[in-house]
Amino acid sequence: MYCNDDFATERDNGIVISVYNELLNEKAVGDEFCWGYYLRIENNSPDKISLLGRKISITDVKGRQVSVASEGFGGELPELEPGEVFEFEDYATSKASAVLCGSCKIANDRHEIKDIRLPVLSLIANDNGRVLN
């Protein structure tokens, strides 16, 4: 789905989570910036995994924080066999430059549940409307 050299990546026991963000001027409202973020989760483990949900936290340069936790991904609870990939996109808004961090909750076929950290993303827009990451 996405192929971008700017993905930030975290690895944990064969699970690879890559995240990329871009400024979405067309979704911005008023004085808020809007960033799209794209998750790619690869199951390189020997186990089937279930993607149970995600937690996202955005903290801007003024210290304002917004956190969101959700079950699943867009209403789905994806299951990935070894070697399979899941891709998901969403967006976040902020009135100032910010940092996005969070985790994905994943269970394996032995019912072991783990939160795997997302790579931290810098949500910074300059005068040219480009994201600096």
pLDDT in tens, 29-48: 788 888 899 999 999 999 99
pLDDT > 70 in the chain, percent: 89
Domains parsed from the chain with CATH numbers = 8-124 (2.60.40.1470)
pTM equals 0.83
Query: What Rg, from alpha-carbon coordinates, does the chain have?
Result: 15
Cα–Cα dist 108/104, whole Å: 13
Residue pair 96/60 in contact (Cβ under 8 Å)? The answer is yes
pLDDT of amino acid 6: 74
Cα dihedral 116, 61, 67, 74 sign:
negative
pLDDT of amino acid 128: 45
Q: What is the mean pLDDT of residues 16-33?
A: 85
